[in-house]
A and B are shown apart, each in its own frame.
Chain A
Amino acid sequence: MTWRLRHEDIDILTLGSSLLGSGGGGNPYIGGLLLKKSMEKLGIDGIEVIAPDSINDDATIIASAGMGSPTIGSEKLPNGEEYARSLSRLEKDMEIEFEYVTPSEIGGANSVVPFIAALFRGLPVLDGDGEGRAFPELQMTTFNLYGISSTPMCLADERGNELIINSVDNLWAESIARSVTARFGGRGYVANYPMSGKDYKKSAVKNSVSRARDLGELLSRGMRNNSVEDVLTKEAGASELFDGKLTDLVRENNGGFSIGYAIFRSTEGEKTSRIRFQNEYLFFDEKIEGDMIEIVTTPEIICILDRETYMPITTDRLRYGQRCKVFSLPVGEKWNHPLADDLVGRRVFSVLKHFQ
């Protein structure tokens, strides 16, 4: 079904995608505000969201996202036109025109970023993405799982620098883009996974923009009625994992990522848990008889909510002393694939090497 994302829908969309983003995908407030400001600037209210099944097999599609450490993203803001510039540069280099923009991930700012690129270029956005959540690296997509190349891709910065990458595989694209992103000062703006409509229909997580919007509405209703736990567990399939206070936070900007862990202690101080993150929350552990035992692992989604307001807390907003509730959410079935474990299984994440 085709619908329009209007100015007034943006907060709901970013709210829902903050849940799906597993704490990552960039600061949702800044992403949302940038989209609103861009709409106001261009005098356009409403961007078309197109159902993937309705597009032609030979349609040309491009994914759009911000990459790098979200902690840095909340300080060094975009100027707004980077996303579209990255896309246009790639068109020039590939000598084709893109007809649709897709999110590469649904999470935080990255679910609205494609709308900013689309807005500046007058293009529609596809209702789908390549993850159904957010992951820290460019190759961690269902697009990759189904054999789509992420290159040629373009990586831009806010100064006007651009880099076209052609790589032998998607892991190399990530590795090159990551080191240049670090050189850019920790943030880069990406257009990648150029593909056909046929490939998109095969490889994308469909309807995920709608899912984010619906989750946003659900959470917002829960907030109004003070029934967030209820709506999340009963209507969204979430499970409550923990209830406590953040008592230690280790976080560093490392190689273009924000990596670290947060320790939580339950209100009575009896239980201790830990969440390790690399841009996104990846692993939830609980201390059992002195040992940290992994309870929830990728690709399952982990959300941290403020225990008073129930606003999702993204990795860049973690602070000492926060009182939180932790939930897990099921990820889409697109990841039920024999190769998924090699791509997003626990052993591929470098945060585990730093923090055992």
Chain B
Amino acid sequence: MRDLNVQDLENLEVGAGILGTGGGGDPYIGKLLAREQLLRGKKITLVDPKEVDSESEILPVAMMGAPVIMIEKVPGGKEVVKSLEYFEKNLKESIDFITPIEIGGVNSTVPLAVAGMTGKPVVDGDGEGRAFPELQMVTFHLGDIQASPVAMFDERGNNNIVMATDNVWAERIARSVTVRFGGSAYVALYHMKGIDYKKWAVLNTITKCIDIGDAIMDAKRSGRNVFDALLDETGGVMIFSGKIIEVKREVERGFARGSTVIEGSGEFRNKHMRIDFQNENLMASIDGEIITSVPDLITILDSETSVAITTEHLKYGFRVNVMVMKCDERWRTAKGLETVGPRYFGYDIEYRPMEELI
């Protein structure tokens, strides 16, 4: 158990961007919310899963919606606290810990802000080890943990409780409410016991994020190649380098879908990489040949600073590196691939682990 400081938040922001694989919203906004709590003298306590009792009550909290809308409609933060209060009222006992539902993007930092506001400690882990666009795309789902009840709040004071028959329906209902709320909502869901969390969560991912950020900062300070440091820290592989020459996007049913084309340079000269995304980067191909796909992590980084670029910020002319990282092993099981494999996103291809492809 330790209390996070402002530098941890800065590092976390960098790491969350990289694990966000282009989606999950800008972690910057969540960092500002969390930092504000620290500046007010509140504590944000991080707890190792080993220190969590099997019987303790754990509640993941998150923001839901299209990242494009989130960068405009900046969250207040109090709404998530209300959803936590709802659970406590209904359970008639208190929630012991909160935790991120996903480590990539804004949802890595939102629970930290809530921790600051409520004094509840945050368990070091999440339900994805990355970011994914839908509610059922979490390792908890693979462990048959129910998303429902899902408490949803908007900034106006509207709130809903979703009791769905399964996690896919929880996603569908919550999604249409989110659209109605104007594109973003604050949710608490997958309420569970410590024993389930320890079995199904991707553990220690907050620390992993902070470490990634730290490694990059360290490399910058010491003048090492930042990108190499990043690959060393994450075990990732560089798969492309070049200049963005095309970005296509559309907002479809509350998701940002699209693709980008990168013209290769250096060893990739005369080649083109295409990356398809739906909030997150889903699939990378070079000249029509598929290189890698979800659930492995595809991240586009600024070639100078190695800061991850989210899909909504992709622009013509950016010089970028593309890297791929290994996903959590559970995503490679049959149910894992059924939930987040390329077929789920509409690509009729077989998933192959990045280690085999590269």
Chain A interfacial positions (CB closer than 8 Å to B): 89, 93, 159-168, 172, 175-176, 179-180, 182-184
B219 in the interface, Cβ–Cβ < 8 Å? no
A163-B179 in contact (CB<8A): no
- Let me know if B159 is at the binding interface, CB within 8 A: yes
B-side interface mostly: mixed
Q: A183 near B160 (CB under 8 angstroms)?
A: no
* Chain B contacts with A in 155-183, Cβ cutoff 8 A: 156-165, 169, 172-173, 175-177, 179-181
12 contacts between A and B (CB under 8 A): A161-B163, A161-B165, A161-B173, A163-B163, A165-B158, A166-B158, A168-B156, A172-B156, A176-B181, A179-B176, A180-B180, A183-B175
Nearest-Cβ distance from residue A84 to partner chain B, whole angstroms: 15
CA distance A160 to B170 in the complex (A): 11
Known A176-B177, A179-B176, A179-B180; judge A164-B160 contact (CB<8 A).
yes
Contacting pair B160 A179 (CB below 8 A): no
- Can you list, as one digit per residue, whether each of B72-89 has a CB less than 8 Å from chain A (1) or not (0)? 000000000000000000
Q: Which of B160, B164, B169, B172 contacts A176 (CB 8 A)?
A: B160
Interface residues on B, range: 20 to 34
A163 touches which of B156, B158, B160 (Cβ 8 Å):
B160
- A89 touching B163 by the CB < 8 A rule? yes
Contacting pair A175 B163 (CB below 8 A): no
B41 to chain A, nearest CB (A): 33
Within 8 A of A (CB), among B127-167: 156-165
The answer on a CB contact under 8 Å between A183 and B172 is: yes
When the two chains form their complex, are residues B165 and A93 in contact, meaning their CB atoms are under 8 A apart?
no
Closest to A160 in B: B165
Q: Nearest B residue to A175 by beta-carbon distance?
A: B180
Chain B residue at smallest Cβ distance from A156? B163
**Given A172-B156, A183-B172, A183-B173, CB of A163 within 8 Å of CB of B161:** yes
Report the separation of the CA atoms of residues A81 and B158 in the bound assembly, to the nearest whole angstrom. Answer: 28
Given contact pairs A159-B169, A161-B169, A183-B173, A166 touches B163 in the complex (Cβ within 8 A): no
Contacts of A161 in B (CB 8 A): 162-165, 169, 173
Partner of A168, one of B90, B158, B164, B177: B158
CB neighbours (8 Å) of A182 from chain B are 176
A165 and B160 contacting across the interface, CB-CB below 8 Å: yes
What distance in Å separates the Cβ of B135 from its nearest Cβ neighbour in chain A? Answer: 14
Q: Are B157 and A168 closer than 8 Å at their CB atoms? A: yes
Q: Are A180 and B163 in contact (CB under 8 A)?
A: no
The 6 A-B residue pairs with the shortest CB-CB distance, nearest first, are A164-B161, A162-B163, A183-B176, A160-B165, A179-B180, A168-B157
**Across the interface, which residues of A come within 8 angstroms of B165, CB to CB?**
159-161
Contacts A93-B161, A172-B158 known; A163 to B169 CB distance under 8 Å?
no
**Does A163 lie within 8 Å of B162, measured CB to CB?**
yes
* B175: nearest chain-A partner, CB-CB: A183
List the A side residues contacting B181 at CB < 8 Å: 176
CB of B77 to closest CB in A, whole Å: 19
CB closest residue in chain B, given A159: B165
- In the complex, which residues of chain A have a beta carbon less than 8 angstroms from the beta carbon of B176? 179-180, 182-183
Residues A180 and B177 in contact, CB atoms below 8 Å apart: yes
Query: How near does chain A come to B176, taking the closest CB pair, in angstroms?
Result: 4
Chain A residue with minimal CB distance to B150?
A163
The answer on a CB contact under 8 Å between B180 and A163 is no
Set of chain B residues within 8 Å of A168, measured between Cβ atoms = 156-158
Q: Which residues of B contact A172 (CB under 8 A)?
A: 156, 158
| B-chain residues with CB within 8 Å of residue A165 when the two chains form the complex | 158-160
Chain A's closest residue to B178 (CB) is: A179
Q: Roughly how many angstroms separate A176 CA and B179 CA in the complex, as a whole number?
A: 9
Q: How far does the alpha carbon of A160 sit from the alpha carbon of B166 in the complex, in Å?
A: 9
Residues of A within 8 A of B172 (CB): 183
Beyond the given A175-B180, A176-B158, A183-B172, please list 14 additional residue pairs across the A-B interface where CB-CB is below 8 A. A93-B90, A161-B173, A162-B162, A163-B173, A166-B159, A167-B159, A168-B156, A172-B158, A176-B177, A176-B181, A179-B176, A180-B176, A183-B175, A184-B173
**A179 and B177: CB pair below 8 A?**
yes
> What B residues does A160 contact at CB under 8 A?
165
- CB-CB contacts of B230-267 with A at 8 A, as 1s and 0s? 00000000000000000000000000000000000000
- B54 CB → nearest A CB, Å: 28
In the complex, chain A residues whose CB is within 8 Å of the CB of B164: 161-162
| A179 with B161: CB separation less than 8 A | no
A159 to B170, CA, bound (A): 12
Closest Cβ of chain A to B277, distance in Å, is 24
